[in-house]
Amino acid sequence: MNKESSQRTAFIIFRILGIIVVSILLWILGFIIYNGMGVISWEFLTAAPAEGMTAGGIFPAIVGTLCLVAGSMIFAFPVGVMSAIYTNEYAGNGWIVKFIRVMTNNLGSIPSIVFGLFGMSLFVNTLGFGDSILAGSLTLGLLALPIVIRTTEEALKAVPSSYRTGSRALGASKLQTISRVILPAAFPNITTGLILSIGRVSGETAPILFTVAAYFLPKLPTGIFDQVMALPYHLYVIATSGTDIEASRPVAYGTALVLIAIVLLMNLLAAFLRRHFSNKWRAER
């Protein structure tokens, strides 16, 4: 084969593979929308489950998932961003930093059920938070931490070092340089990390299983020590152990659709924020 035709063949193979991947994704999405669309109604989105979770709505689970996402981000985002700032801007390149990096990556590859067990042992029992939004959020936050740290580090690395020297040469301190130049420049990419971890966190079942999730709890939470229902766990429950699994099947698809919609919405919001902030000062690379 000559150069030209091998190039063309490779291109065709890549294209076919790309099309296959996209079609699978679209198929899943279409499947969920097709099966779930039927039950989506105003009542479904705003009422509590009824009749053994075969009817009614999923409002408490929506609220629960939003609480857990918010709670875990309130914990994971500042901690993750700050530790990435530490390793990237302050700690130099010694063995401590390398060790922290390896550990962070390892933390990211631990199965989420292990986080669940750990969260139950530490937050629920040892610290005595009980099954609560607090315990669940912290557990999910731990799960999200490696993602936040890694994406923030990448974002900081992508900031040209000439900004740092330029700022220091004007008499700015290291902290001023970070807060006034480095972080704003890295912000669009840091947002990506936030969104990725929100997507991850909102879909996880295992970490909330032993730390917060309620099987059936129509009442909305009133504080951080309350239990809540959550979309992924609710989906799991009605798909496997409801009172009438067949009858609740449409509800399951509806729940899946809502979960996907929430994650997609967050991604859209992120994309918008990213665009907005990077357009503002079109960074040259």
Partner 1 sequence: MIEAKNIDFYYGSFHALKNISMTMEAHTVTAFIGPSGCGKSTFLRLFNRMNDLIDGIRLTGECLVQGANIYGKSVQVDELRKTVGMVFQKPNPFPKSIFENVAYGLRVNNLGDKKFIAQQVEESLIAAALWDEVKDKLKKSAFELSGGQQQRLCIARALAVSPAVLLMDEPASALDPISTSKIEELIHQLKKDYTIVIVTHNMQQAARVSDKTGFFMLGELVEFSETKKMFLNPEKKQTQNYITGRFG
Residues that bind partner 1 (CB under 8 A): 92, 160, 162-163, 165-173, 176, 180-181, 184-185, 280-284
Question: Measured from the CB atom, is 134 or 185 closer to partner 1?
Answer: 185
Shortest CB 174 distance to partner 1, Å = 9
Buried b (16+ CB within 10 A) or exposed e, 43-66: ebeebbbeeebbbbbbbbbbbbbe
Cβ at position 274, least distance to partner 1 in Å: 14
User: Which one, 246 or 284, has the nearer CB to partner 1?
Assistant: 284
**CA dihedral defined by 237, 48, 207, 194, rounded to 10 degrees?**
130
Toward partner 1, which CB reaches closer, 90 or 225?
Answer: 90
The tokens of 273 are what?
């924020």
**Angle between helix 59-85 and 133-157 (nearest 10):** 40
Closest approach of partner 1 to the CB of residue 275, in Å: 15
Rounded least distance, CB 167 to partner 1, Å: 7
Q: Least Å distance between CB 62 and partner 1?
A: 38
- Count of Cβ atoms closer than 10 Å to residue 33 Cβ: 15
State which residue, 159 or 270, has the beta carbon closest to partner 1: 159
Pick 165 or 243: Cβ nearer partner 1: 165
Tell the burial category of 78 from Cβ atoms under 10 Å away from its Cβ (0-12, 13-18, 19+).
Answer: exposed
